[in-house]
Structure 1
Amino acid sequence: MPIRAERPDGWPGREPRRVVVVPGGPVLVEGPVELVTDEGTTLYCDRFVVAVCACRRSHRYPLCDTSHRRRQRGSGERTPQGGTA
């Protein structure tokens, strides 16, 4: 089946899952979802939206725990108090 920008007429069966790719963040998938890891482990997630890690920095991989937000400050980056690191 070709990839299309719009839903084709006569879409088979049930409604398709919505997947949102967040730039610099996780992939959000409307649940419930069955995830199969590269090791063959199956995870069943019954949440209404499941955040799947795209950066592999999550401590709960393949689920996102927002570890991608934590960065080390480089020289010249401002701290929350307005100073420099």
Structure 2
Amino acid sequence: MPKLKCGRLIKSFNALLGARANSKKYDKIDEYFRGLWSKLSIKPNLVMYNTVIKAYRDMGSLDTTSLMLDEMENNGIESNLITFNTLL
């Protein structure tokens, strides 16, 4: 993103994750979620977690979606209707 002169905003990061998930290019989802936000000092938010949960669900990794819910709670982020609809 910095190479494209895109600001290091949470919206930019969420857009990047969303684009990867929507295009079904799941190979980098975990790397982006785990690695980049920590390098860029961006704190994960509800939109980010919902996007990653949807990607894991689409990959068939239901155990990981459960772990993501636990991680959300541990980070003080409450799940919402979108989170639960995604899991259903």
**TM-score normalised by L of structure 2:** 0.22
Could you say which structure has the larger radius of gyration? 1
Q: Relative to total residues, which structure has the larger helix share, 1 or 2? A: 2
Tell which has more relative contact order, 1 or 2 (C-alpha 8 A, sep 6+). Answer: 2
Q: Scaled by the length of structure 1, what TM-score is found? A: 0.22
Flag the structure with higher strand content: 1
